[in-house]
Amino acid sequence: MNDCIFCKIISGEIPSEKVYEDELVLSFKDISPEAPAHVLIIPKKHISSLNELKEEDEKIISHVFMVATEIVKKLGIADSGYRIVTNCGEDGGQTVSHIHFHLLGGRSLQWPPG
Ligand code: 5GP
Ligand code: ZN
């Protein structure tokens, strides 16, 4: 867990461009944006992936989505539309083992993803 880059972002050891923060979650700009608006929303609790989610984490995950509704207003994409994605495991394309939700918008997004 000590080697987790997102835990280091939460602790401030690695800098980030914060968009939102409260006691449960942190949101910051993705370092390699795939859309004009691309932020990550992460729980402050280290959870490796969706597969490691426990019943007790239910409040954290629902909070992520509640917070997202505020962030999209801040980013000005609430009405134009956006997408929230979480990648899980190798086939899902997960590269950081700390659960995170990509929030993408600011352009027309393709479906299905590649
Ligand atoms: P994944 O591929 O695991 O779904 O998403 C990981 C995301 O984290 C990628 O979009 C990547 O650009 C982003 N990322 C990786 N390292 C850092 C970092 O140090 N800072 C920030 N802001 N984003 C990062
Ligand atoms: Zn972590």
The set of protein residues with a Cβ atom below 6 angstroms from ligand 1 is 5, 14, 16, 28-32, 40, 87, 93-96
Domains of the chain by residue range: 5-105
Q: Give the predicted TM-score (pTM) of the model.
A: 0.98
Q: Which ligand is nearest to the CA of 28?
A: 1
Q: How many CA atoms lie within 13 A of 97 on its CB side?
A: 9
Q: What is the pLDDT of residues 50-100, one digit of tens each?
A: 999 999 999 999 999 999 999 999 999 999 999 999 999 999 999 999 999
Q: What was the pLDDT predicted at 2?
A: 72
pLDDT at residue 90 in the model? 97
pLDDT value, residue 65: 98
pLDDT tens digits, one per residue of 20-37: 999 999 999 999 999 999
Decide the pairing of beta strands 18-21 and 82-85: unpaired
How far apart CA 75 and CA 49 sit, in angstroms, is 26
Q: What is the CA(5)–ligand 1 centre distance, in A?
A: 9
Is residue 34 within a helix (H) or strand (E), and if so which, with residue range? Answer: none
Choosing among 3.90.1260.10, 3.30.428.10, 3.30.160.60, 3.90.1150.200, the CATH entry for 5-105 is: 3.30.428.10
